[in-house]
Amino acid sequence: MNCEVVKDLLPNYIEKLTSSKTNEILEQHFKECPSCARERDELLSEVHADTIPDMLDMKKYLSKTKQMYLLKGIFSAILGVGLITSLIVDIAINHKLTWSFIVAIAIAYVGAGLLTAQLSSSSKMVKVIAVLSVLLIPLLYGIEYIVNSNYAARPFNWFFSYELPIAIIWLVILWVVIIIRHTARLSIWNFIGITLLLASAGSLLNNSVALKMSIWKVLTIRYNWINAVIYIACAFCCFLIGYIRKNKEMK
């Protein structure tokens, strides 16, 4: 068998597609022809180099997947045990279900986020935040309803007065931050600076709702304007760091 034929058969030989008889002939040729033997060794080393990383990657993937499922199982077990325990204790003490409903809806809230992460193949964090944002307001209303039904001598009316507007304020700020992060090409320092400014505005609006005062009156309270100054100062520092780093990169 000449070298040209051997070289044509080498790929099949490496892939173990040749017959045993052909293998014997090829191996005999390799003993007699150093050039073909060297080419065979080179091909084998390339295949070996390609295969080992793939196997290592697969092992890492399987190990990571196993750990992920283990963590999910542990977390689910903790939530389940917490729910069952709260139901048992609630019934034992109150002879009916009262505060355990709060535990149940809180667990359902967390579970919805976990389920969303599990079912999502891309943009998991955004989808999880979207689901939790939608469910936050029903969660708050449910907690107030349970408290009013079981504990309050006089029903609270906090949901529409405080909880809903404050939740909307922070949800809007959260989604503005997410949109900025995904659309604007900002450095991490500029992004943090903008986030701090939005948080400062959110804090003022939050206190305005909580105290039933205008923002200008809120600013007259010492700790509020100090808080705002700290936010703005930190944001300025972030912008300054971003500017300095950008200039260094340009040089």
pLDDT in tens, the chain (251 residues): 678 787 778 778 877 778 888 888 888 888 888 888 888 887 777 665 555 455 555 566 566 667 777 777 777 788 788 888 888 887 888 777 777 888 888 888 888 888 888 787 777 888 999 999 999 999 998 888 888 887 767 777 888 888 899 999 999 999 999 898 888 878 888 899 999 999 999 999 999 998 888 888 888 888 888 888 999 999 999 999 988 888 887 76
How many whole angstroms separate alpha carbon 211 and alpha carbon 224?
12
Tell me the residue type at 233. Answer: A
| Residue-wise burial string across 153-181, b where 16 or more C-beta atoms lie within 10 A, e elsewhere | eeeeeebeebbeebbebbbebbeeeeeee
Rounded CA separation 198/177 (Å): 8
With vertex at residue 191, the alpha carbon angle to CA 214 and CA 130, rounded to the nearest 5 degrees, is: 75
Amino acid identity at 27: E
pTM of the model: 0.64
